[in-house]
Amino acid sequence: MLNGKRKVDACYECKGTLELFEIDMQKGTRIMQCQVCGLYHFYKKDFLANWKLTKVSKEIHSDSEH
């Protein structure tokens, strides 16, 4: 039975709350943005179907993508 509590993702830098920015279920990735400092947190699903933080950045796209 659930008691109404759930894990809330916190910002790596300022511990602010994260808001879902983008999700791609086919690639198994999601991007969340901090509501306080604006940092983007990139997550990828692992083999146990849990979300794992892979990168934190101020920009959505990396320099290698054109």
Please write the tens of the pLDDT for every residue from 15-60: 899 999 999 999 999 999 999 999 999 999 988 888 999 999 998 8
Distance CA 15, CA 9 (A): 9
Put simply, whether the predicted model's pTM sits higher than 0.85 gets the answer no
pLDDT classification of 61: cutoffs 50, 70, 90: confident
- In this prediction, residue 56 carries a pLDDT of 93
pLDDT classification of 63: cutoffs 50, 70, 90: very low
